[in-house]
């Protein structure tokens, strides 16, 4: 194996560790931790492959600061009404596409099953996280996470984040 490949594999494992923690925060209803995976100045967008391929910039969710993500959590807790539900994320291994100093780009597949209060479990979303991450010895944080869903359909509502 060439050194570059070894380095990328190592990096992928580190990113993967962080991403497992990210989905755990959502799946275990520890949503208050979710914004902490982002830099204060960040982009979080949920969109679809259809929009991305057509060059259309808007999606279902758009935030350009960690504060907006914290507001979303606060809104979900205190203002919005939705039936009891939880997610189960399954994520693939991060595929590192670019390394530039402490800035790393990676793509990671995900599947999300949504479990409703009556026990109904459905495949809610599949897609890829297109990430720009800041990797330092202290932490790995998201500078940008574009959640590209494979389908443009959203069933009923998307209360919890992906």
Determine contact, residues 140/20, Cβ cutoff 8 Å.
no
To other proteins, the closest distance from the beta carbon of 20 in angstroms equals 24
Q: How far apart are alpha carbons 92 and 94 in whole angstroms? A: 6
Q: How far apart are alpha carbons 110 and 131 in whole angstroms? A: 13
Q: Please identify which residue in 6, 90, 139, 157 interacts with other proteins, judged by CB under 8 A.
A: 157
One symbol per residue from 75 to 114: x for binding other proteins (CB under 8 A), - otherwise; what is it? x--xxxxxx-------------------------------
CA 55 from centre of chain: 21
One symbol per residue from 27 to 66: x for binding other proteins (CB under 8 A), - otherwise; what is it? -------------------xxx-xx----xxxxxxxxxx-
Q: How far apart are alpha carbons 73 and 150 in whole angstroms? A: 25
Does the protein bind other proteins through residue 17 (CB under 8 A)? Answer: no
Host H or E run for residue 135: strand 121-135
Q: How many residues bind other proteins (CB under 8 A)?
A: 36
Q: How far apart are alpha carbons 105 and 51 in whole angstroms? A: 21
Does the protein bind other proteins through residue 123 (CB under 8 A)? Answer: no
Query: Among residues 50 and 107, whose Cβ is nearest to other proteins?
Result: 50
* Site for other proteins, rule CB under 8 A: 46-48, 50-51, 56-65, 67-68, 70-72, 74-75, 78-83, 152-159
């Amino acid at each position: 194996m060439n050194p570059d490949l070894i380095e990328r594999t190592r990096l992928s494992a580190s990113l993967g560790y962080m991403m497992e923690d990210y989905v755990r925060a959502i799946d275990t209803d520890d949503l208050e931790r979710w914004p902490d995976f982002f830099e204060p100045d960040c982009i979080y967008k949920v969109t679809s492959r259809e929009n991305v391929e057509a060059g259309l910039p808007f999606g279902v969710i758009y935030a350009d600061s960690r504060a907006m993500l914290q507001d979303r959590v606060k809104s979900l807790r205190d203002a919005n009404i939705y039936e009891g539900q939880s997610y189960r994320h399954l994520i693939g291994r991060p595929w590192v596409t670019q390394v530039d100093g402490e800035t790393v780009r990676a793509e990671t597949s995900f599947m999300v099953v949504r479990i409703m209060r009556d026990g109904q479990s459905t495949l809610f979303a599949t897609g890829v996280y297109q990430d720009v991450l800041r990797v330092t010895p202290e932490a790995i944080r998201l500078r940008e996470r574009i959640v590209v869903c494979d389908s443009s359909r959203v069933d009923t509502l998307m209360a919890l984040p992906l």
